[in-house]
Amino acid sequence: MTVRFPDEPGFQGRFAPMRLEGEIRGLEVIQGEVPASLRGTYYRVGADPAWPPATPRDFYFNADGMVAMFRFENGYVDFRSRYVRTPRFKAEREARRSLFGAYRNPFTDDPTVAGLSRGLANTNVYWHGGRLLASKEDSWPIQLDPDTLDTVGEFNWDGDLSSQTATAHPKIDPKDGSLVFFGYMARGETTPDIAYYEADAAGRVTHEAWFTAPYASMVHDWAVTENFVVFPIIPLTASLDRIKQGGPYYVWDGSEDVYLGVVPRKGGDVRWYRGTNRFASHIMNAFDDGRYIHIDTPVGEKSAFPWFPDIDGAPFDPEKTKGYLSRWTVDTHADPDQGHGTTTFTQRKLTDCAGEFPRTDERRAGLGYNYGVINLTHVPGEVPDDGIPGGFRWLASIDPATGAMKRRFAGRDATVQEAIFVPPATDASTPNGHGYVLQLIDRHATGTTELLVLDAQHIDATPVATLRIPIRMPGGLHGNWVTDKQLSRRAE
Question: Which residues lie across from 23 on neighbouring strands?
Answer: 80
Q: Are 438 and 467 in contact (CB under 8 A)?
A: no
Nearer to ligand V55, 47 or 144 (CB): 47
Interacting residue with ligand V55 among 71, 82, 118, 136 (CB under 6 A) = 136
Q: Are 1 and 97 in contact (CB under 8 A)?
A: yes
Interacting residue with ligand V55 among 123, 143, 343, 415 (CB under 6 A) = 123
124 binds ligand V55 (CB under 6 A): no
Shortest Å distance, C-beta 108 to ligand V55: 16
Shortest Å distance, C-beta 123 to ligand V55: 4
Shortest Å distance, C-beta 121 to ligand V55: 10
Nearer to ligand V55, 163 or 432 (CB): 163
Task: Give the 3-state secondary structure of residue 60.
Answer: helix
375 binds ligand V55 (CB under 6 A): no
Nearer to ligand V55, 85 or 363 (CB): 85
Nearer to ligand V55, 138 or 288 (CB): 138
The CA dihedral of 451, 174, 423, 470, to the nearest 10 degrees, is -10
Shortest Å distance, C-beta 45 to ligand V55: 9
Q: What is the DSSP letter of 217?
A: B
Query: Using CB atoms within 10 A of its CB, is residue 266 exposed (0-12), middle (13-18) or buried (19+)?
Result: middle
Shortest Å distance, C-beta 281 to ligand V55: 6
Shortest Å distance, C-beta 105 to ligand V55: 12
Shortest Å distance, C-beta 220 to ligand V55: 5
Nearer to ligand V55, 274 or 282 (CB): 282
Nearer to ligand V55, 165 or 360 (CB): 165
Task: Give the 3-state secondary structure of residue 46.
Answer: strand
Nearest position to ligand V55, beta carbon: 61
137 binds ligand V55 (CB under 6 A): yes
Nearer to ligand V55, 61 or 371 (CB): 61
Shortest Å distance, C-beta 124 to ligand V55: 9
Query: Using CB atoms within 10 A of its CB, is residue 412 exposed (0-12), middle (13-18) or buried (19+)?
Result: middle
Q: Which of residues 432-461 bind ligand V55 (CB under 6 A)?
A: none
CB-side neighbour CA atoms (13 Å) of 324: 15
122 binds ligand V55 (CB under 6 A): yes
Shortest Å distance, C-beta 476 to ligand V55: 10
189 binds ligand V55 (CB under 6 A): no
Task: Give the 3-state secondary structure of residue 223.
Answer: strand
Q: Which of residues 37-56 bind ligand V55 (CB under 6 A)?
A: 47
Phi, psi of 450, rounded to the nearest 5 degrees: -110, 145
Shortest Å distance, C-beta 185 to ligand V55: 11
139 binds ligand V55 (CB under 6 A): no
Amino acid letter at 240? L
Determine the Cα–Cα distance for residues 133 and 67; give it in Å rounded to an integer: 10
Interface with ligand V55: number of residues (CB under 6 A):
8
Please list, residue by residue across 446-463, b when 16 or more beta carbons sit within 10 angstroms of its beta carbon and e when fewer do.
eeebbbbbbbbbebbeeb
Amino acid letter at 82? R
61 binds ligand V55 (CB under 6 A): yes
Pairing of strands 28-32, 40-47: unpaired
Amino acid letter at 135? S
Q: Are 408 and 471 in contact (CB under 8 A)?
A: no
Q: What is the DSSP letter of 446?
A: T
Q: Which of residues 201-240 bind ligand V55 (CB under 6 A)?
A: 220
Q: Which of residues 258-297 bind ligand V55 (CB under 6 A)?
A: none
The CA dihedral of 140, 141, 143, 149, to the nearest 10 degrees, is 130
Nearer to ligand V55, 120 or 205 (CB): 120
Shortest Å distance, C-beta 221 to ligand V55: 8
Nearer to ligand V55, 82 or 220 (CB): 220
477 binds ligand V55 (CB under 6 A): yes
- Residues across the chain: 492
Nearer to ligand V55, 61 or 127 (CB): 61
304 binds ligand V55 (CB under 6 A): no
The CA dihedral of 480, 66, 443, 71, to the nearest 10 degrees, is 50
Determine the Cα–Cα distance for residues 89 and 155; give it in Å rounded to an integer: 16
Determine the Cα–Cα distance for residues 486 and 490; give it in Å rounded to an integer: 8
Nearer to ligand V55, 203 or 248 (CB): 248
Residues that bind ligand V55 in the complex, under the rule CB under 6 A: 47, 61, 122-123, 136-137, 220, 477
